[in-house]
Amino acid sequence: MSALDPLNDEQREIRELVRTIAREKVAPRAAEIDKTAEFPWDVVEVFRENDLFGVMYDEEYGGIGESSLMTLVTIEELSKVCATSGLIIAVQELGSLGVKLAGSEEQKQRFLPKLASGEWLAAYALTEPGSGSDSAAMRTTARREGDEYVLNGGKRFITSAGIASVYVVFAKTDPAKGHPGISAFVVEADAPGFEVGRIEPKMGIKGSTTGEIFFNDCRIPAANLLGEEGGGFKIAMRILDRSRPGIGAQGLGLAQGATDYAVEYAKSRETMGKPIGEHQLIAGMLADMETKCEAARGLLYKVGQMIDEGDTGAELTKLSAMAKLFCTDVAMQVTTDAVQVLGGYGYIQEYPVERMMRDAKITQIYEGTNQIQRLVIAREMLKENRAFLLAGVG
């Protein structure tokens, strides 16, 4: 076990399986998924058959043993060839974390086995047209009526809208309050009054649906409340601490996939009598691309290990934001460089790096923009006491 590869033998076997699936089943579909912009149910079926969803769940709920590190590795390996396919795993984790972290045993038994098998896909519904980064401004409401809650409002930019069977939805049970007025619910797609709106055409990750969902006097059992009333914002933040690295893994996969492609191209394409990879300017770009990927991986895997070791609290919040920020900034820088290495070929759709560059952009935006990540990191830094480091400094 090297310092750079913290995986044990069993985890390496899983990674090999994911690599094989990525190479044989997902990579040949990637360009077509991008072109048709249709959700790849065939890829989901491959994941179901090979128990890839199981990586995120404990054995008692039908998984293969929950591991955050292995979830990140799975997303990374799939995203090297197809960011949409990597995102399917990342969103399954995002959508089920609410139940895993805040669900009662009864709720876990009800929902997790179907998510672990991949029979159901999950989604996370926090963002609204007027509240993205500012969740306290949300307008969706939930009021208690007997043994039901009645939801009204709408959500926007919801990944897997219209695809998911269950949505973890945040709504105000006390509209007069900000964060303390927010509660979390599990809403099943067949709930009366639940409706899917417009699916957005996008620049990248085209095979993943992004859309609006509406609640028109949507009735759900009171038993679908996660945790307690007013606890929704805390649940949302605990979820994001653990799901943000998944988007970091998607970014890292894109960056590494683009680097690998650019290296192979730079070995075979010749100018002035030698492969372009031997020209110093190109060689320097390739070296920087690889170094950024390796640095990003170190940070990402560290966060995965922290989550697996049960480390919660401020350090996780900070490192999780750092991993998401760094990996996704690297994704944009490296995929842009890969397009440059391929020159004119990099800009045409016959080669995958232009798709990777388009896909990379969203990783800097969703699950907390990178501007928000910087605020989170700085906020945690300012709470820390580092005065002891300066003792004796004149």
In tens, the pLDDT along 117-152 reads 999 999 999 999 989 888 889 999 999 999 999 999
In the prediction, which pLDDT does 183 show? Answer: 98
pLDDT class of 394 with cuts at 50, 70, 90:
low
What's the Rg (C-alpha) of the chain? 22
Mean pLDDT of the chain: 96
- Could you give the CA distance from residue 53 to residue 50 in angstroms, rounded to a whole number? 8
Q: How confident is the model over 264-291, as a mean pLDDT?
A: 97
Tokens 């080669």 belong to 351
Residues sharing a CB contact under 8 Å with residue 88, sequence separation 6 or more, in sequence order: 40, 43, 44, 47, 78, 121, 208
Report the SS3 class of residue 99: helix
pLDDT 10s digits, 298-308: 999 999 999 99
Let me know if 198 is exposed, middle or buried by CB neighbors in 10 A (0-12, 13-18, 19+): exposed
- Is residue 98 predicted with pLDDT exceeding 50? yes
Rounded Cα–Cα distance for residues 130 and 268 (Å)? 50
What confidence score (pLDDT) does residue 5 get? 84
- Asked if pLDDT for residue 318 goes beyond 60, the answer is yes
DSSP string covering 220-233: EEGGGEESSTT-HH
| Residue 3: predicted pLDDT | 55
Backbone angles phi, psi at 169, to 5 degrees: -115, 140
Alpha helices by DSSP H, listed for the chain, are: 9-21, 27-36, 41-49, 68-79, 83-102, 105-116, 232-268, 280-308, 314-342, 353-363, 370-383
Q: Which CATH architecture has domain 9-116?
A: Orthogonal Bundle (1.10)
| Residues 283-321: b if buried by 16+ CB within 10 A, e if exposed | eebbeebbebbeebbebbbebbebbeeeeeeeebbbbbb
pTM to 2 decimal places: 0.96
Domain with CATH 1.20.140.10 in the chain: 233-384
What pLDDT, on a 0 to 100 scale, did the predictor assign at position 94?
98
Q: β-strand 122-125 against 166-172: which pairing, if any?
A: parallel
The reply to whether 367 belongs to the active site is yes
Contact at 8 Å (CB) between 191 and 167?
no
CB-based contacts of 360, cutoff 8 Å, min separation 6: 83, 204, 251, 254, 255, 328, 331, 332, 334, 335, 336
Query: Where in the chain do CATH 2.40.110.10 domains reside?
Result: 122-231
- What are the beta bridge partners of residue 211? 158, 199
Q: Is the pLDDT of residue 1 over 60?
A: no
CATH of 233-384 given 1.20.140.10, 1.10.510.10, 1.20.1250.20, 3.40.190.10 = 1.20.140.10
Q: Does 390 score more than 90 pLDDT?
A: no
Exactly one of 76, 128, 354, 367 is catalytic; name it: 367
Confidence category of residue 243, pLDDT binned at 50, 70, 90: very high
* Direct distance between the N- and C-terminal alpha carbons of the chain, in angstroms, rounded to an integer: 43
Summarised one tens digit per residue, pLDDT across range 24-33 is 999 999 999 9
Q: Where in the chain is the domain with CATH 1.10.540.10?
A: 9-116
**Angstrom distance (rounded) from CA 47 to CA 56:** 12
| pLDDT at residue 52 in the model | 97
Name, in order, each residue with C-beta under 8 angstroms of 38's C-beta and a sequence gap of 6 or more. 207
**pLDDT given for residue 2 in this prediction:** 53
Mean pLDDT of 337-362: 98
Q: Which fold has domain 122-231?
A: Butyryl-CoA Dehydrogenase, subunit A; domain 2 (2.40.110)
Q: What is the pLDDT of residue 386?
A: 84
Residue for token pair 């960011």: 83
Antiparallel, parallel or unpaired: β 182-188 and 225-226: antiparallel
